[in-house]
Amino acid sequence: MNIFLAQQNYLIGDFEGNLKKIITGVESVKKQHADLIVFSELSVCGYPPRDFLEFEDFIRQCEESIEKLKPYSKDMAILVGAPCRNPVPEGKDLFNAAWFLFDGKVQQIVHKTCLPTYDIFDEYRYFEPAFDWKIIEFKGKKLAVTICEDIWNLGDDPLYRICPMDKLMEQQPDVMINISASPFDYDQSEKRSAVIQANVQKYRLPMYYCNTVGSQTEMVFDGGSMIVDASGKVKKSLTLFKEEITGYDLNELVHTSSGPESPFIRTGKESPKNAVHLATGNMPALTMSQHSRLPYDPERHTDRIYDALVMSIHDYFYKMKFTRAIVGSSGGIDSAVALSLACAALGNENVHAVMMPSPFSSDHSVNDAVQLSKNLGNPYDIIPINEIYQSFLHTLKPQFHDLPFNVTEENIQARTRGNILMSLANKFSYILLNTSNKSELSTGYGTLYGDMAGGLSVLGDVYKTQMYALASYINRNKEIIPENILHKAPSAELRPDQKDSDSLPEYEVLDPVLYQYIEHRQGPQEIIAQGYEENLVKRILKLVNTNEYKRNQFCPIIRVSCKAFGAGRRVPIVGKYLS
């Protein structure tokens, strides 16, 4: 049986466009004598549809797409993701489902069992978990079809009470097929591979794993679909961050296992839940549990972060039908990286840089920003803000009562720049890309409606120390970001001789503490036990918690880590914990 995987990039709610893409995929593999083509989770409507699922019209259009797809299944089978209705009054009205089409008909519908409600996921808000489990019989083979999270319920502390593969194994399937919308983070590829290997080793079955690709606002999907034989060898691995369709004959996968019969099949009981090691290709041998406790390394998987950010910027603009971006270019590393990423995603000619020197800006900052734009070949303007800044001070002088210069005057400069950028964006239909990094957003080192303005946050999930690794990667073939930008001390340049270190711990110390607290939810005692000074840790954690009100008003952040600010991190604005 020749089974193909279609790793495609969908647009949420674009039923016509998604269906056209699915049909194109079907037609392309018919010429290769395919028996079955597999598409990703909720491919008909795009993932995650969120509250669109509460609209009857949205569900009706999903059903109409399935109806239109049926005729294309006359000569080969199609496995596609779409919501389906729950006929039972009790429970949620919908299932997250995999539709199996063949001979012009819906032959079977598989429901998702494990509905994640952690981090960025909120599936139990909309869907009912499966209450029956049946294999799909097709051309003499038994297919165990699962959906995304269904294969992640392994290990010593499973999140869900029911593991659907355990149920399906009672019917002695020949192969596992999983359709997914598994989001990217820079360690996800290894975690995903470990989970697939764990399933293959536990059940002694080959697996076809189909993941979606593309970006949906803040959520990034990297693909990474793969075909693994019964011995755990990866036979096909689809390219990260690209649309791709490939296939493999199931018969060649089933007969490659030289190991003993699965203990699960022999005894009818689950095999031990020990962590399963991954040792595939050039990947290091790591357990699934180890992946969640990797130490902070600002240079880890920089290439993946770069590819994810470029794809996300491109998809955001393409899917929203935007064409041009504007970036405030300060001569610092954050704006330099953001500008470089935007040019790579949208084309140099479509990214407008604006330098806005204040009375406290150094000459080299403007010169560095100009040189960056010359290296990139993007249009730029220089708009000094001193006149506007002085006008604000003059207007507010009676109310300020000659009080000394403080953060107020600094924020006036930042908000002046934000106003200029938004004015240009409104006038010329640009989208303002925000350049704040994760270290700044964590600690509140930014000005609401000033440097925190923007329609999309490019770097809000990238720590400052990771920024230098990204800059080096951008310069890997030639100098794009001027060397002076890489070596100067970080500064907002809003007062004389200002340095970031005047307000924050050095980033080399700050970022690892933030990483332990935000990504790994370690408390102050656990972080102090790692060797960090007690007062420093308490100060940093207090900064994070007391600045939630700023992040709550911030624009969407492209997610590249396992825990980004936004929908995946929900903490109170008003609270006493660690504040």
* 267 and 487 Cβ atoms separated by less than 8 Å: no
125: which DSSP letter?
A: G
Cα–Cα distance measured from residue 2 to residue 246, given in angstroms and rounded to the nearest whole number? 10
286: which DSSP letter?
A: E
> pTM (2 decimals)?
0.92
Report how far apart, in Å, the C-alpha atoms of 36 and of each of 2, 79, 169, 177 are.
Answer: 7, 7, 21, 11
Per annotation, catalytic residue among 21, 41, 141, 343: 41
What does DSSP say about strands 219-222 and 226-228: parallel, antiparallel, or unpaired? unpaired
Architecture of domain 302-502: 3-Layer(aba) Sandwich (3.40)
Residue 239 one-letter amino acid: T
Q: How confident is the model over 423-455, as pLDDT tens digits?
A: 999 999 999 999 999 999 999 999 999 999 999
Query: Which residues are CB-contacts of 80 (< 8 A; sequence separation ≥ 6)?
Result: 22, 39, 43, 44, 66, 69, 98, 99, 101
Phi, psi angles (nearest 5°) of residue 105? -135, 160
Q: How confident is the model over 348-389, as pLDDT tens digits?
A: 999 999 999 998 877 788 999 999 999 999 999 999 999 999
Q: Is 84 a catalytic residue?
A: no
pLDDT grade, residue 230 (50/70/90)? very high
36: which DSSP letter?
A: E
Locus of tokens 């022999």: 266
Per annotation, catalytic residue among 84, 148, 343, 562: 148
Cα–Cα distance measured from residue 431 to residue 437, given in angstroms and rounded to the nearest whole number? 18
* pLDDT, mean over the chain: 92
Mean pLDDT computed over 502-508? 90
Is the pLDDT assigned to residue 264 strictly greater than 90? no
Residue 432: strand pairing partners:
326
Cα–Cα distance measured from residue 457 to residue 313, given in angstroms and rounded to the nearest whole number? 9
> Is 135 or 157 the better-scoring residue by pLDDT?
135
Nearest to 413 by CA among 306, 498, 517, 531: 498
Q: Is 365 exposed, middle or buried (0-12, 13-18, 19+ CB in 10 A)?
A: buried
Q: Indicate the fold that domain 2-291 takes in CATH.
A: Nitrilase/N-carbamoyl-D-aminoacid amidohydrolase (3.60.110)
pLDDT of residue 259: 37
Per annotation, catalytic residue among 112, 141, 202, 550: 112
| Sequence spans of domains, the chain | 2-291, 302-502
Point out the least confidently predicted range of 170-179, 288-297, 326-335, 491-500.
288-297
Q: Is 562 a catalytic residue?
A: no
Point out the least confidently predicted range of 86-90, 186-190, 256-260, 410-414.
256-260
State the Cα angle at 477 between 473 and 481, rounded to 5°: 60
> Is 104 or 253 the better-scoring residue by pLDDT?
104
Q: How confident is the model over 274-319, as pLDDT tens digits?
A: 333 333 333 333 344 444 578 999 999 999 999 999 999 999 999 9
H or E stretch covering 410: helix 407-428
pLDDT grade, residue 41 (50/70/90)? very high
Q: Is 374 a catalytic residue?
A: no
Mean pLDDT computed over 502-530? 95
Q: Is the dihedral of CA 95, 99, 104, 105 positive or negative?
A: negative
Token pair, residue 13, equals 């709610």
pLDDT of residue 266: 28
Residue 102: strand pairing partners:
105
